[in-house]
Each structure stands twice: as C-alpha cells, then as structure tokens.
C-alpha cells in the first residue's frame, strides 16, 4: 500500500514547488546528490518559498531491500518497519517532547516494479556539527578558546560513496553557504551539550548514535547555541545503562586536542545538575571512558581521519580520490582510471562481468580474477586486476533471506576493507572501480572489484624463495631477519587496529620495492573475508579474539613451509626465525607463558592446514 505524509508546516512549500506527491518528491532526489549507495542515497534539494526565500531540504531515499522492513525488530519485540518510517516517527516524537531535531518535512513509501521505495525529507540545520566546530578551534589562542567557523559549502566526496560510508552524516545537514556561526567559548558549548543530553534522557529517550557528527550547534540568538540532533533513526527507551552509553559515544568522537579533561567534566556536571557531588561526576567520567574504549572508531567523521590526507607509503590519499557513479548506479569508477576503462569498453557492470581478455590470475569458488593491461588515452597503460563474483556463500544467502542487516555485496565489502586499512595506515592496493547488482530477490549477486597493480610488487612467498631460498652469506641472513621483523610489525599493526584477515597467507602480502630508499614496503591484498573488531594489543581481552589471531598466524606459519600450495620450495625460515617473528610481534624480548601457548596453538593449527592441503593434493 502506498503511503505519503507531509508535515502541515511544509504542505504549502511542497505544493508551490510541485513536490506534493511521492513520485515528484522522489524524482527530485536525482539532482543534488550528496551521498549515493547501491540501494540508498541522500540529496540536497533547494526549494523556493512563496516569499521567494530559498528553503533547503535533505532527501533520503531507499529502494529495493534497503527500503524493506527490518525483521530484526522482531528480536527486540517490535513490529518491523522500514528505516525511514522509524526515523520519521522518531523525529515527531522528539519534537513533541521539546527536543530540537532536524524539522521533518515528508515521508512516503510506494511500491514499484523493482520493489519498494521509501523517502524521508528533513529541513537542513543551519549550523555546524560539533565535530566540525571542534576541528575549527583556533589552537593558536588556547586561552581565548573561542571560534567562529563558516558553514562550509557541501561538496560531494564520492570516495565515501564508493565504499558505502555515511558521507552526508559526516558533512552533516549543515547549510551550504549559510551564515557564520557566532563565536562561542568551549565552556558555553560544553554546558549546552550537557543540558541537551540531560533533556533527552529526562524525556525518556536514549540515542545510541550520539556522535559529534550528529550533534549540531545552531545560532539561537543568545549566549549559548541551540543543540540539534540529526539522524535519529536509532532511538531507544532510556535506561541508566543506555544513558551512559550515549555519553560514551559522545566522548569517543570528541577526542581531539582542543577538548580538555575539564571540558568533559563540565559536560557531565551540567548533565547531572548543579547539586551533583563531585564524586558522582568522577565515577561517571571513569565509566564513560571505559565504555568509549569499546566503540573506538565508530561515528568518526571520515574527513577528519589523518590517513585520508596522508596515505600509507605508496598509496594515494583518499582525500584526493574522486569516484563517479555510472551505469545507472551499478558501478562506481575512480576518475583516475575512468579513461582507461572507457577506452577498453569496460564502463558498465555487464561489460566487466563479461570481459574475456587479460590473463587468468586466480580462480576460486564463485569468483575469478584476471590481470588486464588497459591502454590509457591520458598517459601510460594501466594494469589492473578484475575480481568477479557470481556466486554467494550459503551463510550470506541465509543472512540476506532473513533480512539481517543491509545487504552488502562481496565486492563492496572488500572495497570498504581497502578504505579501512588505509584509515589505519596499513598499505594495501588502490581501488579503480567497484560494481554490483543483486539477483534472485537479493539472495544472489553479480559483483566485481577492480584494483590497480602495484608496480614491481611480488608475492611474499615468491620474494622469500628468490631472496632467501638458497644458502647465503651473512648479508643474506641479515636481510632475512630484517624482513621477518617487518612482517611481524605489519601483523602486529594489523591486529592491533582490530582487523583479522582470515586468509593471512604470504601470497596475500605483496613486497613492493622502494628504489629511492633502497627498501621495500609490504602491502596486504585479498581482503574479501577480513573482519574488524575493537582492536587493542594482540591477544588481549579487549582486542581481537584470540582464535582469530591463531588462525592468521597459523596461515603465515603454514605458508612459510615448503608446500605445493605455495611458491616456497626450500627451508627458507628456521624455527629460530619464527621465534624471532613472535618476539617482534608481541613487542618483547621474552615471551610470557600465555604468548608461548598462543604460538604453540598457531603451529598446531598450521599443521592441520598442511594436512588438509595434502589431502586435497592427493585427490
């Protein structure tokens, strides 16, 4: 059944602009795209009021499976509803409770030939997100600690679109070219934020996405700004535990140099009220600090991640990458590779999936990877790897059938992992294009990922066999030990950042020569099965689960042994080398009993992998 609701305050505005129907408003989102994904998008639409004054709204659209009902609501004993309907209801509930939010304009849901479609329109917030306001603090004058930051015009960062991050949230629903935000001192903003959170909780609501990018500061004509919340899709009933989690989310996303401990305590004092004892404030602060460690990395503004401006060695900073959406939204192409792909006739998803040229590089269950050299009209030839998926694992089919989370294609998942590694400062490969479409009611898919070849890079197992495979002099032994330490540091950084590879074989580590330094760099590839956890020191209770560390280390151990499954044909590494790797990985000269036990588990796991590969080779 088609539904379309317009807020009474905006009925005349939409009528005057010819957008008083679902189809008209939905079509208006085709222009002014701010963020785009496979099954959802956000657009900035400028309207004209009867007085001639411009009015800007943000239009969220979802279609296909993303517009369907969330059956996970049943696990929370709630009636399943679509995401936009939930946010529409939450906006009205918060507004009725006197909580400032982005003004709801319209909501609708309609059936189409390709499945359901939904939309949600809200008026823009004329202000700055707390994240952007903090980033603009003038550090040259720490005593004044006042700032006036212009509301920057919105520009489309299509890199984030390509990997599925929430660009419109990072930028916020701030005014494009709007008035400057008046100067406020940090203490005033801290009190305003603390009071806003207290009012939210007093109204009986909890907002688990209380990140700095979802908290906006708007001029209110007084000494303090008006605090406005956006993206209130996930609203819950308040409990003390959930309230502490809300404050932890705010704490985790305001950990920037301008924010001092005194500012955080001021937020909590205002939140608890003037009569709160100092001991209660300190206990709440310690609890929030503990909780914030569990959500590190969430809710960050992607534009504030340092690695997006200064890339890992040999990589192009993400801030300089630009992607274009082509082929009806099925394909996102890096502008640097677009001329070469178009010249080769690979500018559509169908063309990439049907491509028969190039050299077959690797074949696996449901996927094929080819190496292709593409002539680039703008310069030298581009060498790329095209990984294509045409079959989905049964676990993924079950998850999609049950509607557990938004559907993410295998290619998009790997593209997101490329960005996550770069954000963590870990070298990987450059994304040239990513495309996908869902089939069989969303349970199947056709997807592909195109990545650039690293010039001169070779697989680590090939490199080790060439460089260290035969008996050598002391110089070769020293070089081998140096390489082992470099690999251990890479593995430690990878796990400490909260990642597990699940296929951490030497063939998935590329060694790229760096002639300028007479050195080499290690890059991780094949991130399709990579998982992300909270991070922390390897094998710590708050870090990556130990069983995943064992699996990754076992893969490295196995692939360092002579085996038909690898390019290692001789005893390249000794047991002393493996112990040297373990000491470097754990960052100690003497392994503890727990660390030795983990190493032994990894070796036993490596032996099981070797036995399995032997059985496969014997047929």
Judge whether residue 144 has pLDDT over 60.
no
Q: Is it the case that residue 542 has pLDDT exceeding 60?
A: no
- Percentage of the chain lying above the pLDDT 70 cut: 83
Residue where a domain stops, chosen among 452, 473, 508: 452
State which residues form the domain around 79. 1-124
47 and 102 fall within a common domain: yes
H helices, E strands: number in the chain: 19, 25
Residues 142 and 111 in one domain: no
- 85 and 181 together in one domain: no
pLDDT by residue (tens digit) across 396-409?
777 777 766 667 88
Residues 65 and 84 in one domain: yes
Mean predicted confidence (pLDDT) in 130-159: 51
pLDDT of residue 32: 77
CB count in 10 Å sphere of residue 374 = 21
Output the CA–CA distances (angstroms, integers) from residue 378 to 231, 325, 444, in the order listed.
Answer: 42, 20, 37
The DSSP code for 163 is H
Q: Which percentage of the chain shows pLDDT scores above 90? A: 51
Identify which has the larger pLDDT, 514 or 556: 556
Tens of pLDDT, residue by residue over 38-50, are 567 889 999 999 8
User: Quick one: 529 and 401 in the same domain?
Assistant: no
Distance CA 246, CA 197 (A): 9
Do 586 and 465 fall within a single domain? yes
Q: Quick one: 343 and 284 in the same domain?
A: no
- Residue 206 phi/psi, 5-degree rounding, is -120, 140
CA-nearest of 351, 373, 350, 369 to 360 is: 369
Q: How many domains does the chain have?
A: 4
Q: Which pLDDT value is given to residue 169?
A: 34
Residue 569: give its domain's CATH number: 1.10.510.10
Long-range contacts of 604-611 (CB under 8 A, 24+ apart): 604/554, 605/550, 605/551, 605/554, 606/554, 606/555, 606/557, 606/558, 606/561, 608/554, 609/554, 609/555, 609/558, 610/558, 610/561, 610/563
∠ CA(348), CA(428), CA(445), 5° rounding? Answer: 35
Last residue of a domain, one of 272, 300, 328: 300
pTM above 0.85, yes or no: no
What CA–CA distance (Å, rounded) separates 163 from 150?
28
Cα–Cα nearest to 64, from 438, 471, 591:
438
Question: Is 282 in the same domain as 336?
Answer: no
Distance CA 303, CA 309 (A): 8
Q: Which of 405, 424, 452 is the last residue of a domain?
A: 452
Residue 64: which CATH number? 3.30.200
Q: Examine the domain organization and report whether 242 and 353 are in the same domain.
A: no
Phi, psi angles (nearest 5°) of residue 99: -95, 120
Q: What is the CATH number of the domain that holds 136?
A: 1.10.510
Note the pLDDT of residue 521.
92
Kindly state whether residues 426 and 531 are assigned to the same domain.
no
Q: Are residues 319 and 340 in the same domain?
A: yes
The better pLDDT of the pair 127, 66 is held by: 127
Mean pLDDT score of the chain = 83
Does residue 444 carry a pLDDT above 80? Answer: yes
Count other C-beta atoms under 10 Å from residue 482's C-beta: 12
H helices within 237-372, ranges in order? 240-252, 261-272, 278-292, 338-343, 349-354
Residue 177 has a pLDDT of 41
Checking if the pLDDT of 568 tops 80, the result is no
Q: Indicate the range of 12-21, 176-185, 490-499 predicted with least confidence.
A: 176-185
Same domain for 382 and 489? no
- 33 pLDDT more than 60: yes
Q: Are 442 and 65 in contact (CB under 8 A)?
A: yes
């Amino acid at each position: 059944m088609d539904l379309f609701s317009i807020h009474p305050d905006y009925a005349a505005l939409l009528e005057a602009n010819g957008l008083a129907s679902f189809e008209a408003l939905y079509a208006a989102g085709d222009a002014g795209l701010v963020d785009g994904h496979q099954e959802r998008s956000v657009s900035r639409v400028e309207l004209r009021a009867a007085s001639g004054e411009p009015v800007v709204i943000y239009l969220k659209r979802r279609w296909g499976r993303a517009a369907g009902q969330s059956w996970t609501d049943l696990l929370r004993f709630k009636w399943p509803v679509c995401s936009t309907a939930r946010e529409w209801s939450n906006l009205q509930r918060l507004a009725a409770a006197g909580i400032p939010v982005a003004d709801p304009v319209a909501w609708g849901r309609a059936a189409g030939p390709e499945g359901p479609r939904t939309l949600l329109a809200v008026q823009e917030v004329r202000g700055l997100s707390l994240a952007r306001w903090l980033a603009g603090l003038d550090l040259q004058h720490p005593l004044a600690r006042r700032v006036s930051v212009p509301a920057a015009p919105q520009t489309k960062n299509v890199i984030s679109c390509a990997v599925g991050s929430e660009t419109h949230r990072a930028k916020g629903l701030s005014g494009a070219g709007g008035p400057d935000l008046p100067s406020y001192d940090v203490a005033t903003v801290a009190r305003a934020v603390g009071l806003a959170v207290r009012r939210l909780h007093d109204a009986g609501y909890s907002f688990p996405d209380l990140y700095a990018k979802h908290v906006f500061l708007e001029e209110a004509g007084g000494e303090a700004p008006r605090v406005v919340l956006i993206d209130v899709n996930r609203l819950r009933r308040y409990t003390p535990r959930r309230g502490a989690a809300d404050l932890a989310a705010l704490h985790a996303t305001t950990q920037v140099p301008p924010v001092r401990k005194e500012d955080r305590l001021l937020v909590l004092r205002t939140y608890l009220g003037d009569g709160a004892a100092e001991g209660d404030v300190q206990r709440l602060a310690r609890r929030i600090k503990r909780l914030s460690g569990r959500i590190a990395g969430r809710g960050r503004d992607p534009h504030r991640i340092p690695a997006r401006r200064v890339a890992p060695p040999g990589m192009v900073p993400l801030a300089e990458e630009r992607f274009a959406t082509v082929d009806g939204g099925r394909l996102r192409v890096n502008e640097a590779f677009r001329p070469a792909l178009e010249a080769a006739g690979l500018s559509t998803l169908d063309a990439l999936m049907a491509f028969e040229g190039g050299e077959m590089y690797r074949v696996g269950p449901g996927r094929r990877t080819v190496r292709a050299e593409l002539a680039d009209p703008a310069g030298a030839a581009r060498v790329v790897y095209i990984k294509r998926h045409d079959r989905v694992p049964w676990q993924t089919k079950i998850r999609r059938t049950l509607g557990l989370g938004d559907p993410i294609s295998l290619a998009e998942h790997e593209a997101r992992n490329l960005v996550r590694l770069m954000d963590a400062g870990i070298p990987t490969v450059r994304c040239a294009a990513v495309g996908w479409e869902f089939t069989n009611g969303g349970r199947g898919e056709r997807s592909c990922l195109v990545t650039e070849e690293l010039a001169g890079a070779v697989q680590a197992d090939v490199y080790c066999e060439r460089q260290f495979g035969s008996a050598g002099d002391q110089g070769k032994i020293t070089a081998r030990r140096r390489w082992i330490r470099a690999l251990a540091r890479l593995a430690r950084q990878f796990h400490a950042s909260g990642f597990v590879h699940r296929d951490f074989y030497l063939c998935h580590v590329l060694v790229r020569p760096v002639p300028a330094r007479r050195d080499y760099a290690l890059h991780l590839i094949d991130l399709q099965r990579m998982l992300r956890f909270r991070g922390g020191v390897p094998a710590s209770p708050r870090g990556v689960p130990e069983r995943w560390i064992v699996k990754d280390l076992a893969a490295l151990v196995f692939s360092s042994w002579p085996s038909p499954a690898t390019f290692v044909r001789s005893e390249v590494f000794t047991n002393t080398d493996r112990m040297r790797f373990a000491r470097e990985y754990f960052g100690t000269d003497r392994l503890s009993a727990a660390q030795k036990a983990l190493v032994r588990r990894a070796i036993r796991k490596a032996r099981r992998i070797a036995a399995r590969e032997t059985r496969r080779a014997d047929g």
